Amino acid sequence: MKLNSLWKMLDFGEETIDVSHFCSLNYDDSHWISANVPGDIHSSLLATERIPDPFYDSQVDQVQWVEARTWIFRKRFPAIKEVTPETRYFLRFNGLDLFANVYLNGIELGEHANMFRPAEFDVTQTLHTDQDNLIIVKFDPLRSRVAEEELSPQMPEYDSQTRVQVRKAQAQFMWDHTPTCLMVGIWQDVLLEQFEGARLKSPHFRILSLDKNQAVVGIDAPIDQWMNHPELQVDVRMELQPKFSHLMPNVKQTFTSTTTVENGIARTVMVIPHPVCWYPNGYGESALYDLNVTLRTDNRVVDSFVDTVGIRTIRIDQSPDPDEVGCTNFTFVVNDVPIFAKGANWVPTDLFNGRVEEEDYREWLLLLKEAHGNMLRIWGGGQYEPESFYRIADELGILIWHDFMFSGASYPENRPDFYEEVRKEAEYQVTRLRNRPSMAIWCGNNELDWHLDEIQWDQPGAYYPGKNIMHKLLPQIVNELDPDCFYWPSSPYGGNDHNGSQAGDKHNWQTWHAIVDRQFGEKPKSITEFEDQASAVSYWHLGTDQGRFISEFGIHGSPIMETLRRNIPEKGLIYNSPEMIFRNRNIIKDRGDLMMQAHIGIPTSLDDYIDYSMMVQAEGLKYGLEHYRRRKFHCSGALFWQWNDNWPSITWSVLDYYRFPKAGYFFVKRAFAPVMLSVKKLAEHKYTIWGTNDTLADVIDTLTWTYMTFDGEIHHKNSTQISITANTSCPLINLDNSMFENAQPERELLWLHSEAGLFPDNRYFLAGELRDLKREKPEVQMSVETQSEKLCVSLRANAKYAYFVNVLVPVGGVHYSDNWIDLCPNETRVIEIWHKDGKPLLPESIQLRWR
């Protein structure tokens, strides 16, 4: 039974609080505030207009008092039925944030201080059978309970003395994409569960072996038993979900088995002939089976467990790369198919983490699927997400790279209570997520090993507080509870230094942060040591990156005007106004200016800023992703920073808080297309056209490439038969140098087009830098046709080249087939626009812009 509804809450100050006072059923709480459960206090206060909208202007500063109060939650529910000697009741809070004392009917059940694992209490003796029951939860102000401690070495980042002491989403203490705002509340479900004599404890579904002809799966079901039952049995039933039956017609895909419980565990092994395997997006269907596990005696069901599982194997190939001597691969291999990981980094998606709905997660992940993505990295500064997030990832075929929740700091592992909390949290999370087919890798943390080594650069390999957690405790737990999942100590990790290009994963923050590659024992360089800081941060550095798997790189892009208007007062809608700067939490505020200076120039108006920053982000991501994909499988993944935002801000995300896409989203979508053709510049006048094929079939097509001017003059046009072997990337055509001898690069481009429509058109500006392009702004005509629930928008440029052509309907839930496109002279292209719920869209609402 869920106990989520009808909670009340109230706050108190410094005075000593006598909780027993509220524990009486007669206490009148009619003046208390309705509390959202699951939810956070800020959202409840906002809903009842007790706080101003924290997203508007700088109002987040006005809600900081919330964390400094003591909050009491109160909930009444009816008496339970008489219990038998076999009955046990458990009261379970899936998420309490943070220092909570829980009382039931005036009796203190216990204390809890970890947002990342549930609090569970056996309440069989405490529940009332003859009158209502009453739960009280008291949350203490966090800072009154935390003794700050200076750990050494410590990264001076984001309140690290306080935040590392508590098991709470680290970015709530502030990060470079989010303001300080400490959540408080019952942020996940509250459940009262009843069992008779025994219960199932997290059955573990495992793939014991897999080949084309059969899978052998194991289901281990540990039992918690408190009564002596003569014969406990476990029935297992596994059935392919009907929507996937077409994948294996005429082969029965229902399997059952019964086993007895021995020594507290029921172990089942089942052979599945002709299994229907689960694949990540782009490689096949993400087929799921329903799994039912039932615990019973001869005549009675004692407990049951329902799950959806997938049949797949995942391993990481770290063998030496014969072509790049001294380097090893870092390739995810799913069902023996090497995968190029395409995706991004995921941060908590709302500052007010209790108010995110399942539908929100679905949209965030669906947008990645639509952009041909197949992996998200859940970043260690955030949180383990609620169940629905992972279920949706399973359905959509999005692999999960999961950091444990540690980020950018030393951690007090020498405190026994802290170490113990981490152990319990990791055991819980690994157990919770081990049946998810999307779970691809557990990773110790975000950037500890790398940055702490940089701080202690003259003692490579030195100890840092937290090292035992990352290198001993967590791998032991993963190995014991989910031995089929790969553990990796940190992100980045591997090579010389931990952010090396020779092995493992790498964060490329030369672009944007000017962090250059180094080796163990070398002193890190700071940005002030560069004479030309704009070149030091430019996105061209991505093109020389020899990393094996890029798990972070990124560039800020402004959100659309609608997002700014919703949150910034009129007077602040100016480029670099204090109000705008407030939304940019990167401590070095002018990094975006440096990026624009490097490639396009400094904007003078807000409109130009929106466009210029979006261009730098979009072109930079395109350039980086094309490079990394050309290197397939010397490089086996590109996860850019960052997918989403948790408030309306100026960050590296490609979708803003409202999920309004930036130009970068569509540049990424095109650069992630299963088949991609791209141009690589080798030297002056030397260009090669590459083909990259992520599909599992050879691609045969006719490529038409055109060398032309922005005014539509065609220097060369050629149609060539191309073929790209399945799951490879290779150079296709070396363009003849002589063609470019009289080039006027600032007026010219190369245009790539598929005659069979197998890859999206691509373009290469010969000038390189956007600021060097010499173009006149053309006319663009738009005509709109309504086709059932879609708007089909035809866009046509007159005799000149049009850049960054975008059509926006700034309403939540609107999807676009493409956007921020280029139009060749006299070319017509169609963009389809629809609402996720099929809501009608008005042609008049379309805003057309181009450069």
SS3 538: coil
SS3 725: coil
Helices within 4-147 (DSSP H only): 20-23, 41-47, 142-145
In the chain, what is the straight-line distance between the N-terminal and C-terminal CA atoms, in Å? Answer: 57
C-alpha span between 578 and 557 (Å, rounded): 18
The answer to whether 82 and 73 are in contact (CB under 8 A) is no
SS3 316: strand
Q: Which amino acid is at 578?
A: P
- Dihedral pair phi/psi, residue 237, rounded to 5°: -135, 130
SS3 630: helix
C-alpha span between 155 and 249 (Å, rounded): 57
Q: Which is nearer to ligand BMA, 446 or 538 (CB)?
A: 446
Tokens of 751: 């245009």
The C-alpha angle with vertex 630 and arms to 627 and 634, in degrees rounded to 5, equals 100
C-alpha span between 135 and 119 (Å, rounded): 14
Provide the CB-side half-sphere exposure for 798 (13 A, CA): 6
Q: Which is nearer to ligand BMA, 67 or 552 (CB)?
A: 552
Q: Which is nearer to ligand BMA, 176 or 449 (CB)?
A: 176
CB of residue 583 to ligand BMA, shortest distance in Å: 15
Q: Which is nearer to ligand BMA, 447 or 505 (CB)?
A: 447
Q: Which is nearer to ligand BMA, 114 or 445 (CB)?
A: 445
CB of residue 599 to ligand BMA, shortest distance in Å: 19
Q: Which is nearer to ligand BMA, 163 or 177 (CB)?
A: 177
Q: Which is nearer to ligand BMA, 446 or 649 (CB)?
A: 446
Q: Which is nearer to ligand BMA, 585 or 815 (CB)?
A: 585
Q: Which residues pair with 790 in a beta bridge?
A: 787
CB of residue 39 to ligand BMA, shortest distance in Å: 26
CB of residue 254 to ligand BMA, shortest distance in Å: 45
Tokens of 560: 């659309």
The answer to whether 41 and 71 are in contact (CB under 8 A) is yes
Between strands 637-640 and 341-346, the pairing is: parallel
CB of residue 836 to ligand BMA, shortest distance in Å: 28
The answer to whether 431 and 492 are in contact (CB under 8 A) is no
CA 475 to chain centroid, in Å, comes to 22
CB of residue 381 to ligand BMA, shortest distance in Å: 6
C-alpha span between 643 and 104 (Å, rounded): 42
Q: 151: how many CB neighbours lie within 10 A of its CB?
A: 19
CB of residue 504 to ligand BMA, shortest distance in Å: 15
CA 851 to chain centroid, in Å, comes to 32
CB of residue 177 to ligand BMA, shortest distance in Å: 5
CB of residue 408 to ligand BMA, shortest distance in Å: 6
Q: Which is nearer to ligand BMA, 177 or 622 (CB)?
A: 177
Q: Which residues pair with 89 in a beta bridge?
A: 194
Q: Which is nearer to ligand BMA, 141 or 408 (CB)?
A: 408
Q: Which is nearer to ligand BMA, 395 or 447 (CB)?
A: 447
The answer to whether 172 and 180 are in contact (CB under 8 A) is yes
Interface contacts to ligand BMA, rule CB under 6 A:
175-177, 381, 408, 446-447, 552, 641
Beta strand ranges found along 154-203 (DSSP E): 185-186, 190-196, 198-200
Provide the CB-side half-sphere exposure for 62 (13 A, CA): 12
Q: 275: how many CB neighbours lie within 10 A of its CB?
A: 26
Q: Which is nearer to ligand BMA, 275 or 408 (CB)?
A: 408
C-alpha span between 402 and 641 (Å, rounded): 15
Structure-token match 């809890």, residue found:
112
Q: Which amino acid is at 431?
A: T
CB of residue 609 to ligand BMA, shortest distance in Å: 20
C-alpha span between 491 and 811 (Å, rounded): 36
CB of residue 447 to ligand BMA, shortest distance in Å: 5
Tokens of 137: 């939860």
Q: 377: how many CB neighbours lie within 10 A of its CB?
A: 29
Q: 795: how many CB neighbours lie within 10 A of its CB?
A: 22
The C-alpha angle with vertex 28 and arms to 24 and 29, in degrees rounded to 5, equals 105
Tokens of 639: 């996860």
Q: Which is nearer to ligand BMA, 381 or 444 (CB)?
A: 381
Q: Which is nearer to ligand BMA, 162 or 257 (CB)?
A: 162
Q: Which is nearer to ligand BMA, 321 or 454 (CB)?
A: 454
With a CB cutoff of 8 Å and minimum separation 6, the contacts of 172 are 163, 178, 180, 181, 182, 183, 351
Q: Which is nearer to ligand BMA, 491 or 754 (CB)?
A: 491
Nearest to 444 by CA among 496, 383, 492, 376: 492
C-alpha span between 363 and 818 (Å, rounded): 17
C-alpha distance from residue 239 to each of 210, 259, 288 (Å): 17, 18, 9
C-alpha distance from residue 579 to each of 55, 191, 351, 575, 637 (Å): 12, 43, 19, 9, 37
Q: Which is nearer to ligand BMA, 509 or 803 (CB)?
A: 509
